Amino acid sequence: MAYKYIDNYREQGARKKLVDELKKKGIEDRQVLEAIAKVPRHYFFDETFWNQAYKDIAFPIGEGQTISQPYTVAYQTQLLHINKGDKVLEIGTGSGYQTCILLEMGAKVYTIERQEKLYERTKLVLPHIGYKARFFCGDGSKGIATHAPYNKIIVTAGAPTVPDILLGQLTIGGTLVIPVGDSESQKMVTILKTGEHDYEKHVLDTFRFVPLVGERAW
């Protein structure tokens, strides 16, 4: 790969500043902040745009998609309450940055992306920079039944409703984090599975995601 992965004091300093900014915005989970301090976000950008990598903004990654804003990544990850060894399904691999944050926290990650070009690129990049996940290409709005159940499911694109099929792929005690709303804005929703057919739902803050496109989505 021609692209050079260099992580020196300048990038490490920028990550520290980003972590401070996220703390000020209300992110408290120490493990999440440590993961953000470790994962080189600039590796997910073209070298020309490295100066954008540690701003708290979403950024285009091609195919009309974005790498999520660091605050959004931290917010969703915090809600998952990751324990070491958790089996996590991520729907919407995109750049793979969120995947690396989960891996850095000790999760086993199954990640699915519907855009073939992004899937191909991310599947190559992650092992190259030292992160191992299971990659799938297809419609994640149906989950991945063959590897279920999962302790946690995170959806990184905005859905019109909660796809019931995903709840069926959670372990009891498991959590789904999913943005739900229309194309303009979505509320972050967490659903804790408390029994085979029992759930505890919380509707939280407003975000704006790219749409979840698929059979159980838009």
Contact 212, 141 (CB under 8 A): yes
Q: Determine, following the binding rule CB under 6 A, whether residue 114 of this chain makes contact with ligand SAM.
A: yes
Contact 137, 113 (CB under 8 A): yes
C-alpha pair distances (Å), 28 with each of 56, 72, 113, 147: 16, 13, 29, 31
DSSP-derived letter for residue 158 is: B
Q: Determine, following the binding rule CB under 6 A, whether residue 139 of this chain makes contact with ligand SAM.
A: yes
Q: From CA 168, how far away is CA 153, in angstroms rounded?
A: 11
Q: How far is the CB of 196 from ligand SAM (least distance, A)?
A: 26
Closest CA to 14 of 45, 46, 52, 49: 52
Using the minimum distance from each CB to ligand SAM, give the nearer residue, 144 or 170.
144
Q: How far is the CB of 77 from ligand SAM (least distance, A)?
A: 10
Phi, psi of 55 (to 5 degrees): -85, 150
Give the range of 25-33, 49-57, 114-122, 167-175 binding ligand SAM by CB under 6 A: 114-122
Q: Is 185 a catalytic residue?
A: no
Using the minimum distance from each CB to ligand SAM, give the nearer residue, 188 or 217.
217
Q: From CA 185, how far away is CA 180, in angstroms rounded?
A: 8
Q: Determine, following the binding rule CB under 6 A, whether residue 209 of this chain makes contact with ligand SAM.
A: yes
Contact 139, 214 (CB under 8 A): yes
Q: Determine, following the binding rule CB under 6 A, whether residue 94 of this chain makes contact with ligand SAM.
A: yes
Give the range of 10-18, 25-33, 112-120, 200-208 binding ligand SAM by CB under 6 A: 112-120
Residues that bind ligand SAM (CB under 6 A): 65-68, 73, 91-92, 94-95, 97-98, 112-115, 118, 139-141, 156-157, 209-210, 212-214, 217
Residues tagged active-site: 68
